[in-house]
Copies of this chain bind each other. A is one copy, B any other.
Amino acid sequence: MRATFLHGSGDIRLTDAPDAALRQPTDAVVRVVASCVCGSDLWGYRGISKIDGPKRIGHEFVGIVEEVGAEVRTVRAGDFVIAPFAVSDGDCVHCRNGVHTSCRRGGYFGSQSRLGEDIDGAQAQYVVSPFADGTLVATPGVPDDALVPSLLTLSDVMGTGHHAAVAAQVSPGDIVVVVGDGAVGLCAVLAASRLGAGRIIAMSRHADRQRVATEFGATDIVAERGAEGAAKVAELLGGIGADAVLECVGTKESMQQALDSVRPGGRVGYVGVPAGGPELPVGQMFSANIAVAGGVAPVRRYLDELLADVLDGKIDPGRVFDAEYPLERVADAYTAMDARKVIKPLLRP
């Protein structure tokens, strides 16, 4: 079978890989229907994260179950499943606490588990999912192909944007600012809207992304960034600041912009993977009672709830995919995303 490997900075290759096969009785083999490229995949691609030789990559996918191990109970061959980017056993204390990303036996697709085992990358024809019962979520029946993009967002970006909104305790009527106009930022706009925010200011400089943000419920667009962006938000909000700010980038600058945009007593929900170890200015947080919550999103926890809304047609987060590539052209998808020519590319094996 064919699978994507990151060989080094800028070096993505689709090559032959050993066929997927059950290793544990809790595994499932899934034939990938769609996967995609994530902003965080670019970190290794851009050489920001260190790479040790060729490694399988990709952590978002939906697909059809081909085969399950003897102990798997909740999914079966033929099921259409959504795979959260994090593997979780579903029954350790952290999973029971809803923090599936901290599962004691879990890990991330395309990385190593906390048990020290490699987990397949998702930009491939097939993926073996460990702990299929705790990880995979089957849809009722095989969904229409038109729903695939939205279902695929539940693997990561929609759940992650939602996590930012939940962490920031977005409540009906709230004034919300979203920092970041990547797929996660756009999904955060949609999540805030879904939770009843009264006003949503999306920070975006790109016309195509501004358009999606507006479709997702943004009421205002601010094109300025950094201190200028925070000043513009202050101007829009009469110098008060937002009730909640959703930080969906992960740089020191974007976090500072978030902290500078929130009102005293407000909340910053952050899901941008912290790049370069930015630390948080506790003095600013303390004096204004700014809460900071979030982290790597336990999307498994939100999957049932968000899936219901996708199936009911209440939300259409798949709009963040503005390009589709056959898996054979995965390298082109990386090139386009790296150049910010596309918001998020979907891959079809």
> Which residues of A approach B to under 8 Å, CB–CB?
93-94, 97-99, 101-102, 167, 240, 255, 263-265, 267, 270, 273-274, 277-283, 285-296, 298
Cross-chain contact of A278 among B278, B282, B294, B295 (Cβ < 8 A) = B282
Q: Is the CB of B296 within 8 A of A287?
A: yes
Residues of the B chain whose Cβ atoms lie less than 8 Å from the Cβ of A273: 286
Cross-chain contact of A286 among B97, B274, B283, B288 (Cβ < 8 A) = B274
Other than the given A99-B265, A280-B280, A280-B285, 10 more pairs (CB < 8 A) read A93-B263, A94-B264, A97-B263, A98-B265, A99-B264, A101-B289, A255-B282, A286-B295, A287-B295, A291-B293
13 contacts between A and B (CB under 8 A): A97-B264, A97-B265, A167-B289, A255-B282, A270-B286, A274-B282, A274-B283, A278-B282, A279-B279, A285-B292, A286-B294, A289-B298, A291-B294
Expressed in whole angstroms, the minimum distance between the Cβ of A184 and any Cβ of chain B is 14
Tally of this chain's copies: 2
Q: Is the CB of A264 within 8 A of B294?
A: no
- The binding surface of chain A is classed by DSSP as mixed
Residues of the B chain whose Cβ atoms lie less than 8 Å from the Cβ of A290: 295
Knowing A97-B264, A264-B94, A264-B97, say if A296 contacts B291 (CB, 8 Å). no
Residues of the B chain whose Cβ atoms lie less than 8 Å from the Cβ of A282: 255, 270, 274, 277-280
Cross-chain contact of A295 among B279, B285, B295 (Cβ < 8 A) = B285
Return the chain B residue nearest A278 by Cβ.
Answer: B282
The 10 closest A-B pairs by CB, nearest first: A291-B293, A102-B264, A99-B265, A289-B295, A279-B279, A280-B280, A286-B295, A99-B264, A274-B282, A94-B264
Residues of the B chain whose Cβ atoms lie less than 8 Å from the Cβ of A292: 280, 285, 291-293
Bound Cα distance from A264 to B255, whole angstroms: 21
Bound Cα distance from A288 to B98, whole angstroms: 12
Cross-chain contact of A99 among B286, B289, B293 (Cβ < 8 A) = B289
Return the chain B residue nearest A291 by Cβ.
Answer: B293
Q: Is the CB of B295 within 8 A of A94?
A: no
Cross-chain contact of A289 among B93, B278, B283, B296 (Cβ < 8 A) = B296
Return the chain B residue nearest A273 by Cβ.
Answer: B286
Residues of the B chain whose Cβ atoms lie less than 8 Å from the Cβ of A283: 274, 277
Residues of the B chain whose Cβ atoms lie less than 8 Å from the Cβ of A281: 279
